[in-house]
Structure 1
Amino acid sequence: MTTTLALEAGYWSSLGRGVGAILCYAVLGLALMLLGFYAVDITTPGSLRQMVAEGRPNAVLVSASGMVSMAFIVVLAIYSQSGKLSEGLIAALTFGLVGIVAQVISVRIVEWVIGIDIGALLRDPNYTSAAAMVAAAHVSLGLVVAVAIL
């Protein structure tokens, strides 16, 4: 008795397109998250990258929350395009760039309104509750921008 595995016509082509889409979105998502990190780094006093490398807990928390925020935006931009790769990539890029700008400006406004000295906060070798406030601002804004995409 022989068992034959039958695949639908076009299966391998469809699988290849799916793998290609995953790779394209992964590269775009990584680029946007890195760009978002550098946007936050450039707009904060001192080198955020260096503070993260040194293990400063507030810098790590704020950076991580910025990355999560950007991931929300990219994921919803991808989801909203219903499988259309070129439109999805353009939307993810556009919404990601707008999200970066909105995130940086809004977080700086929150810091100013609350009276947080972000430079001192990020350099502090000890965790402070103000870092949680800044991290929450990053994540909250990321969710707002992400849902606005839908």
Structure 2
Amino acid sequence: MTSQLAATTLALPAGFGADLGKGIGAIALYAIVGLVLMLIGFYAIDWTTPGKLSELVRLGRPNAVIVTASGMVSMALIIVVAIFFSASDLTAGLITSVVYGLIGIVVQVLAVRTLEWVTKLDVGNTIESERFAPASVVVAAVHIALGLIVAVAIS
């Protein structure tokens, strides 16, 4: 009787293995999409920002690190919300993540360039500086704010 009770409580529902496999596959696909979008976002910021951003980050320039990190956080916000609102449809979720992620990248780049033009900030000199520059926090705030705006627009 004890062994019969134990077998009953340890039984898994039908289809558990298939559901688990689908979940693992979804995680892998979303991780790949997220990574690719974040890389595209990084290189879009790098390409449109004066100076070689990746080199400045490797050198530990504080302002370059702040701007880069905020861009990555912003990108992640957009991707997470796109995944969350994909209504558990993997194909739709992957497509919306890619589309919204690319839109987010374009919006971020345009906004930072517009901010630079309107405020007359010299983002190039700011990110190349070896010393912390408060202007880098403004650029970072724009990245995160736009990520939040795009993420909320998705929902």
Distance 1:114 1:66 in 2: 19
User: Aligned-pair distance for 1:107?
Assistant: 1.2
Structure 2 residue aligned with 1:9: 14
| 2:134 matched residue in structure 1 | 129
Q: Match for residue 62 of structure 1?
A: 67
Gaps of 5+ in 1: none
Report the equivalent of 2:101: 96
Instruction: Show the counterpart of 1:138.
Output: 143
Corresponding residue to 1:76 among 72, 81, 101? 81
**In terms of mean alpha carbon deviation, does 36-45 or 105-114 score higher?**
105-114
So what's the TM-score if we normalise by structure 2? 0.95
- Could you tell me how far apart the structure 1 residues matched to 2:117 and 2:71 are? 18
Deviation of residue 122 (structure 1)? 0.6
Say whether 1:27 aligns with 2:45: no
Show structure 2 runs of 5+ residues with no match. none
What is the CA–CA distance in structure 2 between the aligned matches of 1:134 and 1:38, rounded to whole Å?
17
Give how far 1:54 is off. 0.2
- The one-letter code matched in structure 2 to 1:48 is L
Give TM-score, length-normalised by structure 1. Answer: 0.98
Query: Partner amino acid for 1:69?
Result: S
Q: How far apart, in 2, do the equivalents of 1:108 and 1:147 lie?
A: 22
Q: CA deviation at 1:132?
A: 0.3
| Aligned residue runs from structure 1 range 34-53, under 5 A | 34-53=39-58
Give how far 1:25 is off.
Answer: 0.3
Q: Residue 59 of structure 1 aligns to a residue in which SS?
A: helix
How far the C-alpha of 1:78 sits from its partner, in A, is 0.5
| Aligned partner of residue 83 in structure 1, secondary structure | coil
Structure 2 Cα separation of the partners of residues 73 and 115 of structure 1: 28
1:125 is displaced (CA, Å) by: 0.2
* Larger gyration radius, structure 1 or structure 2: 2
| Structure 1 stretches of at least 4 aligned residues deviating more than 2 Å after TM superposition | none
Cα distance in 2, alignment partners of residues 21 and 113 from structure 1: 42
